[in-house]
Structure 1
Amino acid sequence: MERCAWAGPEQIYIDYHDTEWGVPERDARALWEKLILDGFQAGLSWITILKKRENFRSAFAGFDPEVIASWGEPEVARLLSDPGIIRHRGKIEATIGNARAYLAIAEQEGFDQFLWKYLDGTPLQNSFATQAEVPPSTDLSTRISKDLRKAGFRFCGPTIVYAFMEACGLVNDHLVTCHRHGPCAAMA
């Protein structure tokens, strides 16, 4: 069975690739969680975040934005002392601010609607044969990044947003030789 070149060799990576990555995500809270985790991944490898994902969920109240939006310095201090997550003050503080921004968008139009409107609700289907063809960012990820920043989000640059788009199936970047390309395309 052929997979995208980045998927492996660890089983947790293979499982993530085979069951989650590239699957169109429509749940607003799940989208927000993935965007936050992609922000924490900046400068690190995704496998690092993937291995700590359950710790993040526990430390960040199940990624409940209503809870996180009310946090302040005591919670930041608690998180900075938690060895189960990435202890980066800027990313932790950004998550709290991002929860507030998420709630504002959710009230206006829904976070899922906010994101999927850029694609008219239909994932982009790419047909890359090699990993070298996959861009680190696109004009669309740049536009979404700018709009997220205008809404108050941080740690959401064009490269982070493009990785998020791939992870959440807003774009299908499974290589055409990968066994997941066709199934993810069919979910569109």
Structure 2
Amino acid sequence: INPENTLTTKGLIATTIQEVHPLAFSDILEKTNYFHDLSPSDIVGVFSCFTNISVMQDMRVSIPPKDNDLVYEVIKQLNELFNHYEDLEYSIELDTGSDYTMNYDIVTYAMEWCESTTENDCKKLLQRINLEKGIFLGEFIKAILKINNIANEFAKFCEMIGNVELLNKMTNISTLTLKFVATNQSLYI
């Protein structure tokens, strides 16, 4: 809230986000000029850290991959913001129920999924994910759908604040990720 008692852009963004930590993401958007230097595929890599995909302990990755410097830096900054907000909650004995877990296991795979253009490429990647991480198709589809839910949430506030550049990136995410076996109709119970 600004001195005129109106909601700031950062506050508006924070009130719109529910899929991920709203304050940490409001901060990172401000720090990165709304993901200006990130491609939609890069953003998918960042969002993949919040999919809560389960990987066996001996196959887990404890640090973000460094194969993309921009993505690595954003994830590192988000991790610092998460630590800040978790420490803040602890210091004032507040439990917001926020999940401060970040998962780095599918960052590279999610970005590769975006770059896969043929059904055969997608099948090969899915087989590799299963072999290297023990992640089955259904789990990967759920992760992709979670990434799309985050992107859809971001698209809503982009419309509200008039950020066309980020809105275009968010709407491109579904085109890059919802293909072949991973579609909006993929999730079944």
TM-score higher than 0.5 here? Answer: no
More contact order relative to length (CA 8 Å, sep ≥ 6): 1
